[in-house]
Structure 1
Amino acid sequence: MRILYLHQHFSTPAGATATRSFAMAEALAARGHAVTMACGQYAGAVTGLAGGYRHGRRAGPVGGFRVVEFAIPCGNHLRLAARAGAFLRYAARATGLALAGAWDVVVASSTPLSVALPALAARRLRALPFVFEIRDPWPELPRAMGLGSPLVWAGMDRLADAACRRAAAVVALSEGMAETALAHGAAAATLRVLPNGSDLDLFGPHVRPWRPDGLAPGVPLAVYAGAHGPANGLDQLVAAARLLRAGGSPLVLLLVGAGAEKPRLQAAAAALPNLRLLDPLPKPRLAGLLAGSQIGVQCLAPVAAFAEWTAPNKLMDYLAAGLPVVANLGGRAARLLEGGGFGPCGIATAPGDACALAAALAALAADPDRRAALGRAARAQAEARWDRRRLAEGFCQVVEGAAA
């Protein structure tokens, strides 16, 4: 089967961003399908291609499938208008590819929501079935954060309606995202929840650990690894670092990543010796850092919609690494940290409560036995519930069923 996989932000594990689409494309290729991944130039991503661009694109084999990379830079550091322009340019180039190739099925992975445009065009003009994957619900999240305008949200609503109603299958990363798909008209029979998974080979206690220079071996280290944008609410971690220092906790907070808020966070960290920042790390390097850390930190802005409408990759990485997690949100993440039958694997604090966040971090920093128990439960849950290889099998079945 010939599959066109559209994901503007694709990266291999050599990059510093999410690798779900790499894993899914690799799984499809392992089942004998001819997969072509079409992507842009996302900040922090590594596509696996080298050499120059010809007519604004380059292509080649990567990981058992083919990658077509368009010379369209994009990233969270760009202003909203620039990012929107990159989204539309990618949609235009991907539409040309979708209409020109001999495909059996198209996979359109959102965000951005504009990735649905080439899939819809291929369905209308070529009668090609497509799978619509919702990694973040748009326009629900931008609307909840007040990003954009009512006119923009209305346009995105119409596009999401068309994508959900006309897709042969819809994949959502959480039950909350699945509810937004139903609200946009997706048929329940076409809908499948396939969460983010844990890469148990890349992350885990078997990985050789490392720690940043200048950090004493006995100092507990808490790592936040992810975007530094308005949605992440990292001012809460700055406030927590101040409280931890005032309370005498030896804990050091390390923020790894990039984004529009990073320059301001760096300025704040200059006055806080227990707060450090690093640039984004390739996944294998990040795996070593997590192996050398004591706590994983999940932080989001206090937006009520985040409780059920987000499925952070970093949380899956922390669990795979066997780290206890401190998260400042309720909903899905809080339930996950409760552990179910695997026992608790972290602490969830109230959104926006920096004092509670600092208290949870200080409590774990002072209790290595509790950290060890939570970390064992985290790895056990990752192995039993979130193994990405098992979730990839489900994804392959959805794509094959859509083509059929």
Structure 2
Amino acid sequence: MRILYLHQYFRKPSEGGALRSYYLSSALAKAGHEVELITAYNGKTYKTETIAGVNVHYLPVAYDNRFGFPARIKAFLKFSWQSTRLAFKLENIDVCFATSTPLTIGIPALLLKKFRGTPYIFEVRDLWPEAPVQLGYIRNELLKTVLFWFEKLLYRNAAKIVALSPGMVAGVKKYKLPVPVFLIPNIADCQFFQPVFTEKISTLEPFIISYLGTLGRANRVDFLLDIARICQEKNLQQVKFIIAGSGAESRHLKQKAQKLNLHNVEFAGHFNRKQVQKLLNRSAATYTSFDKIPVLQTNSPNKFFDSLAAGKLCLVNTNGWLQDLVEKNNCGFYADPHQPAVFVQKLLPFLTDATFLKTCQQNARNLAEQEFSREKLSRQFVSLFGQ
């Protein structure tokens, strides 16, 4: 089967970032499918590259997490236009797979179906436009109406829909469309990430809590700085926080840390995959952070699943399925982000009991292997193209 894979933010392992499309497109190629993947990069000219058996087309459409909302919309529309032109030049495409965000990724898929009869599978990585509406980026009522209409149009015309969390599945199914919806969460790469469990605890050795990922408005990493402040006030000198990421809020967060005179926080910048692996090996725990907004409770952050694979204590600040995962599997805990003192209170037992900490870390790894392994979820994904 000849498959067109559309993803504006495709990344390969050497670049870091979310690797879901790398995992899944390469799984399709390994299964014997011919895969043409269209993506964007911050370059000047169109180029192609073969990556893990996938023919990747790079379109010159600049994008940065520091872009304001108008600049982001411009980049989305530019990629949509260029990818549509390229998609219609590719011959004999049997099926198209389009993965959001942004929602505009569905435009070339929809046009291919309308004018060539090519079916498409649509993947929902975020409930868009619900997320930017709740975050306050989209306030115009007419624009909201148009975007929600377009979302429903994309779902209605899809042959199948893939969603990354139970909350996203519910967000799609609320439209009550006769389209099958499949839950395929983000992937834990249990081959690349090998656990380094905590065998002993010493007040002389740092207890590292790492944050990995985007420093954006939706992530509200301010919450982690509030926790660091409480730890410093309580003289928990062994607790250290390493923030590895970049984004629009980076400058603000550094200024806040400086204003609070935090000596237990390190900003490490953007990490590639190998650097992420090394940091996780040093860390006892990771912190997954989102703003306290309902739609963000449905998120399926890739770094959370890296943490599971690496066997880390998983600390989360969102209600919903992430809280359920860590609590039901005893591999971490949830704490309300507006109550940093409660977080620190919940953390205290892990600072003194190495056996308790190691047990929770082992539970995280077991969960990764049993429910979210690359092999298991890749098989589920590839099977969609044979049904």
- TM-score category of the 2 structures, normalised to the smaller one: over 0.9
Give the distance between the partners of 2:348 and 2:13, measured in 1 at CA. 32
Task: Say whether 1:222 aligns with 2:209.
Answer: yes
Match of 1:358 in 2: 344
Task: Say whether 1:231 aligns with 2:218.
Answer: yes
The one-letter amino acid of 2:235's match is G
Kept after mapping to 1: 8 A contact 2:6/2:99: yes
Q: Secondary structure of the equivalent of 1:66? A: strand
The one-letter amino acid of 1:136's match is D
After TM superposition, the structure 1 = structure 2 runs for residues 243-262 of structure 1, keeping only pairs within 5 Å, are: 243-250=230-237, 251-262=239-250
Note closer, same or farther for the CA distance 1:399–1:159 as it changes in structure 2 (3 Å cut): farther
Match of 2:371 in 1: 385
After TM superposition, the structure 1 = structure 2 runs for residues 265-280 of structure 1, keeping only pairs within 5 Å, are: 265-270=253-258, 271-280=261-270
Give the distance between the partners of 2:385 and 2:85, measured in 1 at CA. 22
Q: Deviations over 1:258-301 (max 9, x none)?
A: 11110011122232110111111111220111011111111111
Match of 2:130 in 1: 140
Task: Say whether 1:323 aligns with 2:312.
Answer: yes
Task: Say whether 1:242 aligns with 2:229.
Answer: yes
- Residue 217 (structure 1) shift: 7.2
Match of 2:293 in 1: 303
Give the distance between the partners of 2:152 and 2:10, measured in 1 at CA. 24
Give the distance between the partners of 2:302 and 2:20, measured in 1 at CA. 9
Q: Which moved more, 1:159-168 or 1:173-182?
A: 173-182
Give the distance between the partners of 1:113 and 1:186, measured in 2 at CA. 18
Match of 2:184 in 1: 194
The one-letter amino acid of 1:294's match is A
Q: Deviations over 1:102-153 (max 9, x none)?
A: 2111110000110000000000011100000000110111122222123332
Q: Which moved more, 1:379-388 or 1:261-270?
A: 261-270
Give the distance between the partners of 2:16 and 2:351, measured in 1 at CA. 27
Q: Secondary structure of the equivalent of 1:248? A: coil
Give the distance between the partners of 2:247 and 2:222, measured in 1 at CA. 13
- Residue 187 (structure 1) shift: 2.2
The one-letter amino acid of 1:40's match is A
- Residue 221 (structure 1) shift: 0.5
- Residue 219 (structure 1) shift: 1.0
Kept after mapping to 2: 8 A contact 1:164/1:185: no
Give the distance between the partners of 1:187 and 1:217, measured in 2 at CA. 59
The one-letter amino acid of 2:15's match is G
Task: Say whether 1:3 aligns with 2:3.
Answer: yes
Give the distance between the partners of 2:338 and 2:192, measured in 1 at CA. 32
Identify which of 364, 369, 381 aligns with 2:355.
369
Kept after mapping to 2: 8 A contact 1:232/1:299: yes
Kept after mapping to 1: 8 A contact 2:119/2:158: yes
- Residue 185 (structure 1) shift: 4.7
Kept after mapping to 2: 8 A contact 1:290/1:321: yes
The one-letter amino acid of 2:312's match is L
Give the distance between the partners of 1:71 and 1:357, measured in 2 at CA. 44
Q: Secondary structure of the equivalent of 1:244? A: helix
TM-score, length basis structure 2: 0.93
Task: Say whether 1:100 aligns with 2:86.
Answer: no
Note closer, same or farther for the CA distance 1:345–1:265 as it changes in structure 2 (3 Å cut): same
- Residue 326 (structure 1) shift: 1.1
Task: Say whether 1:399 aligns with 2:347.
Answer: no
Match of 1:71 in 2: 60
Q: Deviations over 1:320-352 (max 9, x none)?
A: 00001111111100110023xxx4000111243
Q: Secondary structure of the equivalent of 1:272? A: coil
The one-letter amino acid of 1:16's match is G
Kept after mapping to 1: 8 A contact 2:163/2:183: yes
Kept after mapping to 2: 8 A contact 1:3/1:104: yes
Give the distance between the partners of 2:88 and 2:357, measured in 1 at CA. 53
**4+ runs deviating over 6 angstroms:** none
Kept after mapping to 2: 8 A contact 1:131/1:171: yes
Match of 2:200 in 1: none
Note closer, same or farther for the CA distance 1:360–1:299 as it changes in structure 2 (3 Å cut): farther
Kept after mapping to 2: 8 A contact 1:269/1:276: no
Give the distance between the partners of 1:36 and 1:15, measured in 2 at CA. 20
Q: Deviations over 1:70-107 (max 9, x none)?
A: 11111211111111100000000111122221211111
Match of 1:13 in 2: 13
Kept after mapping to 1: 8 A contact 2:196/2:311: no
Kept after mapping to 1: 8 A contact 2:209/2:242: yes
Match of 1:291 in 2: 281
Task: Say whether 1:338 aligns with 2:327.
Answer: yes
Gaps of 5+ in 2: 198-202
In the comparison of the two structures, how many residue pairs are matched?
Answer: 377
Match of 2:70 in 1: 81
Q: What's the RMSD between the two structures over aligned residues?
A: 1.7
